[in-house]
Structure 1
Amino acid sequence: MLTTVAQIGKHVGEEVRLGAWLFNKRSSGKIQFLQLRDGTGFIQGVVVKQEVTPEMWDAAKSLTQESSLYVTGIVREDERAKSGYELTVTGVDPIQIAEEYPITKKEHGVEFLMDHRHLWIRSMRQQAVLSIRSAVIQAVYEFFKERGFYKVDPPILTPTSAEGTTTLFHTQYFDEEAYLSQSGQLYMEAAAMALGRVFSFGPTFRAEKSKTRRHLIEFWMIEPEMAFVDHEESLRIQEDFVSYVVQYVLKNCPLELKRLERDTSKLENVKAPFPRITYTEAIEMLQKDGHEIQWGEDFGAPHETAIAEKFDKPVFITHYPTGIKAFYMKPDPTNPDVVLCADLIAPEGYGEIIGGSQRIDDLELMKKRYEEHDLNPQAYQWYLDLRKYGSVPHSGFGLGLERTVGWICGTEHVRETIPFPRLLNRLYP
């Protein structure tokens, strides 16, 4: 019976067959211990010389790191094994004996590992991170499906910018200029006016020459937009969303989190409601702690980390100055110097994972913003139409997948949270 490591617990006492790769091997003379992986997990196969044919013993002995094979064996429960099970091998059928594998147990530099990213993702740690990434994606879809959201796909090629033209990748679109999308938000607002509550999940691109551990050139964003939803309700949806995702991973990925040596007690505490402070309160907090920052300046990574350290959950920073936020954000009716927005800052130094706001729904105010930000009226005419024909209060936000996965996994750098990261000066492999 061909099965997988993930399903092995259903076959205790039975003989099964696995398609696998040899992750590692050690021998005590008369016993060979095969560390096997099949993509769904890792398991040890034990080959006892006296219990197999000489040909089978030699076949097992010939296996090199990352050789592919079919292996047959009896499933046994074993409390010492990380998976809880072990395989008493009864058959070894090599498919391909791998050449000398470049990634070994010795210490490799980051650049070497990144050059061999196509092989590095086979390691236990990377497999755990990418497995958790997959679980986060699953949780995203389940959360929005349960709440009646429609999945909508905005374009990747766009004629205009969502937030500014300085961090865009330009391309030629036949006889006109186009850009790789840095956000699907504007299009999602249009979709929300048609379907009520929508979300997108796709790649976005930022041509930022940044080398920090939080930045990627190409990353994935979840961007919900919601008609008839004000700022306050949007915050409640955001904290419910993040809580749902974290608790989903805790429930479904215990082995992966253990493999990463993640302190799950910090994640278990991630449950709504989250603390909230205003931008003004955050500035006062930072100034009191000796940071040189003035009202009207944006936060950098050290500022976000300093604020997050004061809380044991993600924290919302709300009501940023109008001048440092995007043109589409709705001013606070009680104080037009700030907008109805919030950034959600993750604990443990992982920075902003969500940015969101209530959007401007007033036609005349949006026209004024076009003038203030020198936006091309022709290029943005369709976006202005949303305020002409049945405008309603609406809100939205964007969650960065890789930063969120990095925080949940406790990775040192966001490059580990995407299969093939695109970084400054790195387009290979």
Structure 2
Amino acid sequence: MTRTTEPTRISSLPGLVGQQATVSGWVTHTRSSGKVAFVTMRDGTGILQCVVVKPQVSAETWEAFQQLTLECSFSVSGEVKADARAPGGVELGVTELRLIGPSALDYPIQPKEHGVDFLLDNRHFWLRTPRQVAIMRIRNEIEQAIHDFFYERGFLRTDTPILTAAIGERSGLFATEYFDEGNAYLAQTGQLYGEALAAAFGKIYTFGPTFRAEKSKTRRHLTEFWMIEPEVAFNDTHANMDLQEDFVSFLVQRVLERQMPALKELERDVSKLEKVKAPFPRIDYTDAVATLQKKGSAVQWGEDLGAEDEALLVEDYETPIFICNYPKEAKAFYMKENPADPRTVLCDDMLAPEGYGEIIGGSQREDDYDKLLHRIKEEHLPLEAYSWYLDLRKYGTFVHSGFGLGLERTIAWICGTPHIRECIPFPRLMTRLHP
């Protein structure tokens, strides 16, 4: 069987100067000055300016140019020419142009200002714009860097259930009937299963969608988001934070190395990202509360820290910071009691600079069977749903730690974009399930 030849991609054209090429893509702009016409196209790998000179092309090609409208698809053939002024440093001298898929004149997103709600209603088109393309390229780079980081360090990628009977956090749950088994819940975290996998493989990570039915409309919340959750056998809370700061430093440096054009498109101040290198400051919760009170916050010891408190804490730092050892009542049931202060647990939140807030929550896990059982009962959680989780402490318990990094919050910080909704292809918000 004869294979169809794949069209040349715009990104490869700088290596084809002086040669003939055929490129397929979509129209972003057209203009004409009588006998010379210009078409700017994109194909997902780059932007290309095409020059159509009427006396040098057939009548059919010139007529095809006249039919081009915003976002129609077409193919174009011609000679690749070097031009330092053109996007990517090359342009195409057109010899043939063919319309593939017409686009109606009322294409929703025009070259003008649109409101955010309108853009979200048309997210399937908004994704085609240069800013959104840049954010998605950085998202892709971060996702690949995540896998590279853990693979190079001997972690096993594992997948945990999305439907579960056991919950990990206090926030809202999405419930669904599960045959004759009662309610199942969309996973808030893969962590509990990750702990079981760490007992089998030593070092694991999960990477998947998680769901929180929180009625929140802040710029930092989605109801569906992606989370990366490593779990490491025999790591204590200090080793856990070491891993976190190495991980985040790696992700930032990777984007700086490979996605500078995307950062430039976003007008990101990269000098701020260049300062993100381990180690990061580690601040005890009690000290953090004292600092906040001096800065005018009304927060009291025992309360969780809100977004405004987090912004106050990071304003004096150029790197992320850790807030460690929160009060037991403010955190999840599975966190290890702090032997130095039983009112608190061995945990940490990593706060990103520039006011982006928490991007990681981590902890050493409670490995004492009786203490974990007591905490489950305190939280009025169903024992039958956690029997297998308690078994991990009954048969060969071990010190272990892990954390969860919110992918979209991390992308928002690295991109410098103010709202998390732009950091996932199709955001799910409290009031949005379309498209």
Counterpart of 2:163 in structure 1 is 157
Counterpart of 2:60 in structure 1 is 55
Distance 1:85 1:407 in 2: 33
Distance 1:194 1:55 in 2: 66
Query: RMSD between aligned alpha carbons?
Result: 1.3
Is 1:215–1:414's contact at 8 Å kept on the other side of the alignment? yes
Distance 1:425 1:273 in 2: 40
Aligned with residue 427 of structure 2, among 389, 409, 421 = 421
1:268 CA displacement: 1.3
Q: Which runs of 5+ in 1 are unaligned?
A: none
Is 2:273–2:414's contact at 8 Å kept on the other side of the alignment? yes
The alignment status of 1:35 with 2:44, answered yes or no, reads no
1:73 CA displacement: 2.6
Is 1:214–1:403's contact at 8 Å kept on the other side of the alignment? yes
1:52 CA displacement: 2.1
The alignment status of 1:338 with 2:344, answered yes or no, reads yes
Is 1:205–1:218's contact at 8 Å kept on the other side of the alignment? yes
AA aligned to 2:31 is R
Residues 167-213 of structure 1: per-residue CA shift (max 9 Å, x gap): 00010001211111111110010110111110111000000111111
Distance 1:85 1:244 in 2: 33
SS in 2 for 1:284: helix
**Range that drifts further, 177-186 or 367-376:** 367-376
AA aligned to 1:48 is V
Cα gap change, 1:19 to 1:328, in 2 (>3 Å): same
Tell me the TM-score normalized by structure 2. Answer: 0.96
1:33 CA displacement: 2.0
Counterpart of 1:352 in structure 2 is 358
The alignment status of 1:167 with 2:172, answered yes or no, reads yes
Counterpart of 2:407 in structure 1 is 401
**Range that drifts further, 51-60 or 383-392:** 51-60
Residues 36-65 of structure 1: per-residue CA shift (max 9 Å, x gap): 111122222222223322321221221000
Aligned with residue 126 of structure 1, among 123, 132, 139 = 132
SS in 2 for 1:304: helix
AA aligned to 1:91 is E
1:110 CA displacement: 1.1
Distance 1:32 1:256 in 2: 29
Distance 2:94 2:256 in 1: 33
SS in 2 for 1:331: coil
1:75 CA displacement: 2.2
1:286 CA displacement: 1.1
SS in 2 for 1:71: strand
Is 2:74–2:97's contact at 8 Å kept on the other side of the alignment? yes
Is 1:406–1:413's contact at 8 Å kept on the other side of the alignment? yes
Counterpart of 1:22 in structure 2 is 27
SS in 1 for 2:385: coil
Is 1:71–1:92's contact at 8 Å kept on the other side of the alignment? yes
Residues 248-281 of structure 1: per-residue CA shift (max 9 Å, x gap): 1111111111111111111111111112211112
AA aligned to 1:348 is E
Is 2:49–2:87's contact at 8 Å kept on the other side of the alignment? no
Distance 1:230 1:79 in 2: 55
SS in 2 for 1:335: coil
Is 1:83–1:255's contact at 8 Å kept on the other side of the alignment? no
Counterpart of 1:6 in structure 2 is 11
Counterpart of 1:243 in structure 2 is 249
Counterpart of 1:284 in structure 2 is 290
The alignment status of 1:144 with 2:150, answered yes or no, reads yes
Aligned with residue 86 of structure 2, among 81, 94, 107 = 81
AA aligned to 1:273 is P
1:7 CA displacement: 2.0
AA aligned to 1:288 is K
1:365 CA displacement: 1.5
The alignment status of 1:94 with 2:99, answered yes or no, reads yes
Cα gap change, 1:53 to 1:238, in 2 (>3 Å): same
Is 1:327–1:373's contact at 8 Å kept on the other side of the alignment? yes
SS in 1 for 2:342: strand
The alignment status of 1:205 with 2:211, answered yes or no, reads yes
AA aligned to 1:181 is A
Distance 1:427 1:91 in 2: 43
**Range that drifts further, 42-51 or 240-249:** 42-51
Distance 1:150 1:195 in 2: 7
1:266-281 counterparts in 2 under 5 A?
266-281=272-287
Distance 2:281 2:50 in 1: 49
SS in 2 for 1:190: helix
Distance 1:79 1:290 in 2: 54
Residues 61-83 of structure 1: per-residue CA shift (max 9 Å, x gap): 21000110111132233333342
SS in 1 for 2:421: helix
Aligned with residue 258 of structure 2, among 247, 252, 262 = 252
SS in 2 for 1:353: strand
Is 1:14–1:75's contact at 8 Å kept on the other side of the alignment? yes
Counterpart of 2:226 in structure 1 is 220
1:329 CA displacement: 0.6
AA aligned to 1:104 is Q
Aligned with residue 314 of structure 2, among 308, 314, 317 = 308
Counterpart of 1:71 in structure 2 is 76
Distance 1:367 1:411 in 2: 42
1:418 CA displacement: 0.6
Distance 1:76 1:357 in 2: 57
Counterpart of 1:182 in structure 2 is 188
AA aligned to 1:87 is L
**Range that drifts further, 225-234 or 44-53:** 44-53
Distance 1:223 1:77 in 2: 47
Is 2:14–2:88's contact at 8 Å kept on the other side of the alignment? no
Is 1:22–1:34's contact at 8 Å kept on the other side of the alignment? yes
Q: Which runs of 5+ in 2 are unaligned?
A: none
Is 2:365–2:401's contact at 8 Å kept on the other side of the alignment? yes
The alignment status of 1:45 with 2:72, answered yes or no, reads no
